[in-house]
Structure 1
């Protein structure tokens, strides 16, 4: 037996899937709420009951895509024992994975009038908390080994990581070598003791 919450969740998922299909087909800027309702096979009224406005729908799609990206990043970070290597290579992977999600980049560019880097700079507490979960174990291991700068909390380290990732996304002219240098010069120097 399904509870009312389950059907509500199923309906939201159906709408989100329909929205993504529409965005991929027409582009986010040309997709209307009517297009999404039609694609989902529901009325506009039902759509607005689940998402009272377009920004709420967009935010949930972005949250889903960021969650999926985070899973890939966590898997990649698990490969590293050394925080310095993770700050460079894990950061490079994170930035390249974000860039590879064309739909997320297009949504951010249209809905947030900017680039993924600018969007990332406007991060919220939930995003920061998820990043602390991702990077925290590596930071703690490095802290236990006496390598993390004194007084640097995991939250502050993640703020630095987010900021430098945003800069790397904004500097799409750097390439891998340039980004690695950026991560070494800014992240490694900011997080680890000399």
Structure 2
């Protein structure tokens, strides 16, 4: 498996990150400050500052840590599918079902998180490497340049995030959703 290991965090850092997730879910990202996070974590504000520069850095770390762990689970799930087409479709289905249940990744559905997700998560070098590593596995057996791989990862992530955050007027069961993804996304990816 060619995924990157998550950054190692100590117990205090984990408590702070978990507290930030609770606070964002409770009040939304724009209303959360370091005092709220420190109080929820049971630590002082100076303790928070000793590990993180600001609230956005805490949320960024929560997103990246969770992305590493989620990616590992997704890869394990996707190993039973034989083709890049199947793995791509199943990666989206898996993500749509499982992401909302992951504590910090459930924040992806929070619309006031868009800037943080983009600027502090997906578009960071670390976020890009997570996506690239995941798609190297999903697309095994296909020959793509790094630039093409990055584009495929970006388009797929954007498609999946839109399915997560923008509710469709049409209800689709798993079979219909697979067909929708196969018809609308896979051709744009060259699959």
Relative to the length of structure 2, the TM-score reads 0.71
Whether 1:57 and 2:55 are equivalent positions in the alignment is no
**Conserved? CA contact 1:22–1:31, under 8 Å:** yes
**Conserved? CA contact 2:152–2:189, under 8 Å:** yes
Relative to the length of structure 1, the TM-score reads 0.70
Show the 5 A alignment for 1:16-165: 16-22=17-23, 26-28=26-28, 32-101=33-102, 104-106=105-107, 109=110, 111-112=112-113, 119=117, 123-124=122-123, 125-143=125-143, 153-165=148-160
**Conserved? CA contact 1:28–1:110, under 8 Å:** no
Q: How far apart, CA to CA, are the structure 1 residues paired with 2:22 and 2:138? A: 37
Q: How far apart, CA to CA, are the structure 2 residues paired with 1:100 and 1:167? A: 17
Report the CA distance between 1:27 and its aligned residue.
Answer: 4.4
Structure 2: tracts of 5 or more residues without a match: 1-7
Structure 1 residue runs of 4 or more that deviate by more than 6 Å after TM superposition: none
DSSP 3-state at the match of 1:96: helix
**Conserved? CA contact 2:132–2:153, under 8 Å:** yes
Q: How far apart, CA to CA, are the structure 2 residues paired with 1:172 and 1:119? A: 19
- In the alignment, which residue of structure 2 is the partner of 1:3? none
Q: Please list the CA deviations of residues 50-91 of structure 1 after superposition, one character each: whole Å capped at 9, or x if unmatched.
A: 222211112112222222221221111212121111122222
For the structure 1 residues 165 and 61, does the alpha-carbon distance in structure 2 shift closer, same or farther, using more than 3 Å as the test? Answer: same
**Conserved? CA contact 1:168–1:179, under 8 Å:** no
How many correspondences in the alignment?
A: 178
Structure 1: tracts of 5 or more residues without a match: 1-5
For the structure 1 residues 76 and 98, does the alpha-carbon distance in structure 2 shift closer, same or farther, using more than 3 Å as the test? Answer: same
For the structure 1 residues 102 and 60, does the alpha-carbon distance in structure 2 shift closer, same or farther, using more than 3 Å as the test? Answer: closer
Report the CA distance between 1:152 and its aligned residue.
Answer: 7.7
DSSP 3-state at the match of 2:80: coil
DSSP 3-state at the match of 1:112: helix
Higher RCO, 1 or 2 (CA under 8 Å, sep at least 6)?
2
101-110 or 11-20: which moved more? 101-110
74-83 or 162-171: which moved more? 162-171
Q: Please list the CA deviations of residues 106-163 of structure 1 after superposition, one character each: whole Å capped at 9, or x if unmatched.
A: 476264258xxx94698214223212211213423134xxxx7x99832222222222
Structure of larger gyration radius: 1
